[in-house]
Structure 1
Amino acid sequence: MSETSDPTSQILLVAILALYWAMLGSWSQLLSRWNDERAKRDTAAARRDESAEHTSCADTPQDALREIDPDFDLGAFLSGARRAYEAILRAFAESDIQTLQRLVGPEVLDAFERDIVGRRDRQEMLELTFIRTDETKVVDAFVENGTAEIVVRYVSDVVSVTRSADNAVVAGDPWEIVEMIDTWTFACQTQSRKRNWMLIVTEGEQQQA
């Protein structure tokens, strides 16, 4: 009886072939994953090269800001941004222009002042009550032409009511909680030793909670 017709040899040959195909399949999957990871790395590198002139990073804005401030503290900035958000909106509701002048840039201040003057002319009063601020998140940051800018997204629950001189409700509902979603841009001069962030752009929407 030849060696190839021996049942034991045939079983051994089948086992070797099965092991070979299993290893080949595993190697093919490994190679595919390696190619995918390499493609991802190449794409990320290309994107970094394309954004060299305009540095922007939503997940880690420290990378952009540490170019001009190695000690930039994102946590401290967000804490201050949350306080500024509530302080600016309260000052706007209370027609406190003096406070607004310290916290917002000229264009935003001009828009706020027009609204405040309009309320005064109509003898209306805006009541704003913060329930909570659910989110304060940096969504973009960049440095350009000597100015650092950080874009912050806020999600908050508030009660907003506008009343007339005789206390009648003109807009809003004192019993309705409204979800406000705002995207604000803060800026400061990179040459300044003291980081005095000013609100320069506001975008917002509101939804019923």
Structure 2
Amino acid sequence: MNLILLVFVIVIIWRLNAVLGTGGGTNNKNNDTYGFGLDDRDKNHNKNSHSRGQQTEGGPSRPPLRVVANGETPKTADELTKIRGLDPSFDARLFIENASTAYEIILRCFSEHDRKTLKPLVSAEVYQGFDQVMKSREQEGHTLRTEIISVDRAEIADVELEGSLARITINFEVSLASALTDSAGELLEGGLENINKNNDLWSFERDLKKKTPIWVLVATESV
């Protein structure tokens, strides 16, 4: 079971209800460092993970994230303006940066079977899908290692606002490598030397009238 199957499972479970947070509302005590339900422990774990392409002593550093915060179409730009009208603290650039961090941490948790960190970030339905795949790997004695080399670009692809319910879809362009091995360490699929370019669409929803600035992952798609 590799990352491709993960994407397939997530696409099948359309309108996921993964509980995540946001980066809005700087005076809200419920806010955390990254938003999207991530605290300092998650932040430090992600920074300390030894992924290819991350900055190490004497090694190369990641390229800076290319963030496109403004809408590409009049409709998208207009909807972002309406969102800011309902939530003046909303910052599109910060939202994208926080979503990029959540993207990396969720994939890391799935790869490492870090259920403790993963579970608070997703709904019961989404967790069940992840857990089913992880249990299958455990029963077969397989190990998946995923290295995110870089999130090269993240941009707002679509924005919808129905009443106070906002949905923002982000297009992530990601460079990553994955390897599936058996209990003896023999390679079954992939390989960490094979870097793949992925394009993923993740959609988040939030009721802007709610005081707690929580965004919910409702859909993902690999394009």
Q: TM-score, normalised by structure 1?
A: 0.65
State the 1:60 CA deviation.
Answer: 5.7
Which residue of structure 2 aligns with residue 156 of structure 1? 174
Instruction: Tell me by how many angstroms 1:159 deviates.
Output: 0.9
Report the counterpart of residue 109 of structure 2 in structure 1. Answer: 91
CA distance in 2, matches of 1:187, 1:105: 13
Distance between the aligned counterparts of 2:77 and 2:197, measured in 1?
24
The aligned counterpart of 1:132 is 150
Structure 2 letter corresponding to 1:135: R
User: What is the alpha-carbon distance in structure 2 between the residues aligned to residue 75 and residue 97 of structure 1?
Assistant: 29
Give 1:191's aligned residue.
209
- Following TM superposition, the consecutive aligned residue runs of length 4 or more in structure 1 with deviations greater than 4 angstroms are none
Name the TM-score, length of structure 2 as normaliser: 0.61
SS of the residue 1:141 aligns to = strand
2:194 paired residue among 158, 176, 187: 176
CA RMSD of aligned residues (A): 2.0
Q: Retained in 1: the 8 A contact 2:151–2:175?
A: yes
Letter in structure 2 aligned against 1:203:
E
The residue matched to 2:94 in structure 1 has which SS? helix
Distance 1:198 1:99 in 2: 17
**Partners of 1:103 and 1:198 within 8 A in 2:** no
1:187·1:198 contact (CA, 8 Å) conserved in 2?
Answer: yes
TM superposition shift of 1:59: 4.6
Indicate whether 1:116 and 2:134 are aligned: yes
Distance 1:133 1:60, change over 3 A: farther
Provide the secondary structure at the position in 2 that maps to 1:135: strand
Percent identity over paired residues: 27
Bigger-Rg structure (1/2):
1
| Alpha-carbon distance change, 60 to 74 in structure 1, aligned in 2, over 3 angstroms | farther
CA contact (8 A) 1:91 1:97 kept: yes
User: Structure 2: how far apart are the matches of 1:191 and 1:79?
Assistant: 23
Question: SS of the residue aligned with 1:77?
Answer: helix
Q: Which residue of 1 aligns with 2:125?
A: 107
Give the secondary-structure state (helix, strand or coil) at the position aligned to 1:83: helix
Cα distance in 1 for partners of 2:109, 2:80 equals 30
How far 1:117 sits from its partner (Å)?
1.5
Structure 1: state its 5+ residue gaps.
1-55
**Post-superposition shift, 1:111?**
1.9
Identify the residue that residue 71 of structure 1 maps to in structure 2. 89
